């Protein structure tokens, strides 16, 4: 019975792949998909909890494990290569269902890679168990570093070093105002272990002020030194107004009801598919101007045209990339990432 079901699924998938290519609208590049699951159980209580505080996410509905299975199945039927980033409002590995679904995704033919995030609060042995059966070559892990919650920093770093040996790995820090002064030290310590570190701007209210817009000049000076790139600094610390964006063309946002939108910024984003019903997404025919004043939805700003003009990804991790003109800038300092008009 199970075999028959698998065969049936293969046929459906082949049909959609063929259908997509016949229509000649299958995008050529790997498509970035952010699947925001709303799984919201966590073993930490970070004072900022950007995952829970981001009101713009409220357009999505609650965690629904039945929907999860259907959406994951339809993701594997999409007729092009995809890089799926799983979003959570809690700790990813506290959900067996989510772990199992992501494992299946990592094994699917059309899935180029899966990106997942954890607070790295478990032992390496536990991570080995969680990740058993995943296609490791397609699995990228980001660990969020939460200074107020980590009990044993040395142990945390040891687990990070173990995971780094086996997976495409990076650490994310949060630009929470009280922690900004410590970020550079933390970053230096982690990069000393060969770990790549990026910083996400704080989105939320602190002391009655709304961030990231409320960063002071002094805070921005410090943030400039720790942000992964000029791009991240401009979007997260300076709230740069985005221009043309590939969201809806080569990048999609899927919520827990299966709704597919260009990005996760809010209700202005039109619906371009429903993965609860079928594996069909109607992508736009090219980049479009962003309708928002700033792109503050996690790292979705990597979908902008200005990003791809100036940076390129270095692997399967959606957070890791380099400045395209790094070599040229060595000869012509005016082309330095921080000197150009951005
Ligand atoms: S680990 Fe993440 S989800 Fe959990 S409390 Fe901290 S910020 Fe929130
Ligand atoms: S720039 Fe950001 S907010 Fe604007 S469309 Fe792109 S992903 Fe969405």
Summarize pLDDT for 105-143 with one digit per residue, the tens.
Answer: 999 999 999 999 999 999 999 999 999 999 999 999 999
- Torsion, Cα 198 240 306 194, to 10 degrees, reads -10
Alpha carbons 295 and 236: distance in angstroms, whole number: 8
307 CA to middle of ligand 2, Å?
12
pTM: 0.89
Instruction: For the chain, state the CA radius of gyration.
Output: 20
Domain coordinates in residue numbering, the chain? 27-335
pLDDT for the residue 19 = 47
Q: At what angle do helices 217-226 and 180-191 cross, to 10 degrees?
A: 10
pLDDT score, position 1: 45
Residue 299 CB–ligand 2 contact under 6 Å: no
Report which bound ligand comes closest to the CA of 43.
1
Cis geometry, peptide bond prior to residue 212 (ω within 30 degrees of 0): yes
| 185/266 Cα distance (integer angstroms) | 35
Q: Which ligand 2 atom is nearest residue 263's CA?
A: 8
Hey, how many other C-beta atoms are within 10 angstroms of the C-beta on 183?
22
* Spatial contact of 311 and 108, defined as CB atoms under 8 Å apart: no
> Quick check: 16 and 25 in contact, CB under 8 A?
no
Tell me if residue 39 falls in helix, strand or coil. coil
Rounded CA separation 274/281 (Å): 7
Task: Locate the ligand 1 atom nearest the alpha carbon of residue 174 and give its number.
Answer: 7
pLDDT value for 52: 57
Q: Is 263 in the pocket of ligand 2 (CB under 6 A)?
A: yes
Q: Is the CB of 301 under 6 A from ligand 2?
A: yes
Looking at residue 298, what is its pLDDT? 76
3-state SS, residue 238: coil
**Cα torsion 156, 158, 161, 163: sign:** negative
Q: How far apart are CA 132 and CA 50, in angstroms?
A: 29
Low-confidence stretches of the chain (pLDDT beneath 50) = 1-4, 6-7, 16, 18-27, 53-59
Pairing of strands 288-289, 244-245: antiparallel
Measure 62 CA to ligand 2 centroid, in angstroms: 23
Cα 273 to Cα 280: distance, rounded to the nearest angstrom: 6
Q: Is 242 a pocket residue for ligand 2 (Cβ < 6 Å)?
A: yes
Pocket test for ligand 1, best of 146, 201, 203 (most atoms within 8 A of CB): 146
* Three-state secondary-structure class, residue 291: coil
Q: Ligand 1: distance of its center to the CA of 51 in Å?
A: 7
Residue 77, pLDDT score: 97
Q: According to the model, what pLDDT value does residue 185 have? A: 97
Cβ–Cβ < 8 Å for 174, 199: yes
CATH number belonging to domain 27-335: 3.20.20
CB 301 within 8 A of CB 228: no
What pLDDT does 65 receive? 87
Closest ligand 2 atom number to CA of residue 291: 4
Could you tell me whether strands 273-274 and 82-87 are parallel, antiparallel, or unpaired per DSSP bridges? Answer: unpaired
Which ligand 2 atom sits nearest the alpha carbon of residue 288?
5
């Amino acid at each position: 019975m199970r075999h028959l079901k698998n065969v049936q699924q293969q046929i459906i998938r082949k049909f959609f792949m063929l259908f997509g290519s016949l229509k000649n609208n299958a995008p050529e590049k790997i498509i970035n998909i952010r699947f925001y699951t709303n799984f919201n159980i966590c073993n930490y209580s970070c004072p900022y909890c950007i995952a829970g505080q981001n009101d713009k996410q409220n357009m999505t509905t609650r965690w629904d494990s039945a929907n999860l299975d259907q959406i994951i199945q339809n993701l594997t039927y999409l007729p092009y290569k995809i890089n799926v980033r799983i979003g959570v409002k809690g700790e990813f590995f506290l959900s067996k269902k989510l772990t199992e679904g992501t494992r299946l995704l990592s094994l699917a033919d059309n899935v180029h890679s899966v990106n997942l995030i954890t607070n790295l609060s478990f032992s390496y042995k536990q991570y080995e168990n969680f990740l058993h059966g995943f296609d490791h070559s397609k699995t990228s892990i980001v660990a969020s570093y939460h200074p107020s919650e980590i009990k044993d920093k040395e142990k945390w770093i040891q687990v990070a070093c173990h995971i780094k040996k086996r997976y495409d790995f990076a650490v994310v820090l949060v630009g929470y105002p009280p922690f900004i002064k410590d970020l550079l030290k933390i970053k230096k310590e982690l990069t000393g272990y060969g770990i790549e570190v990026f910083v996400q701007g704080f989105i939320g209210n602190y002391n009655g002020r709304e961030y990231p817009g409320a960063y002071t000049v002094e805070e921005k000076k410090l943030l400039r030194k720790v942000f992964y790139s000029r791009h991240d600094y401009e979007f997260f610390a300076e709230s740069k107004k985005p221009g043309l964006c590939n969201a809806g063309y080569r990048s999609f946002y899927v919520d827990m009801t299966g709704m597919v939108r260009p990005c996760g910024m809010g209700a202005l984003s039109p619906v371009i598919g429903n993965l609860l019903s079928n594996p069909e997404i109607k992508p736009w025919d090219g980049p479009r101007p962003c309708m928002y004043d700033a792109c503050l939805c996690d790292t979705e700003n990597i979908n902008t045209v200005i990003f791809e003009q100036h940076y390129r990804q270095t692997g399967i991790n959606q957070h890791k990339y380099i400045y395209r003109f790094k070599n040229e800038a060595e000869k012509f300092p005016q082309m330095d990432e921080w000197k150009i008009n951005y």
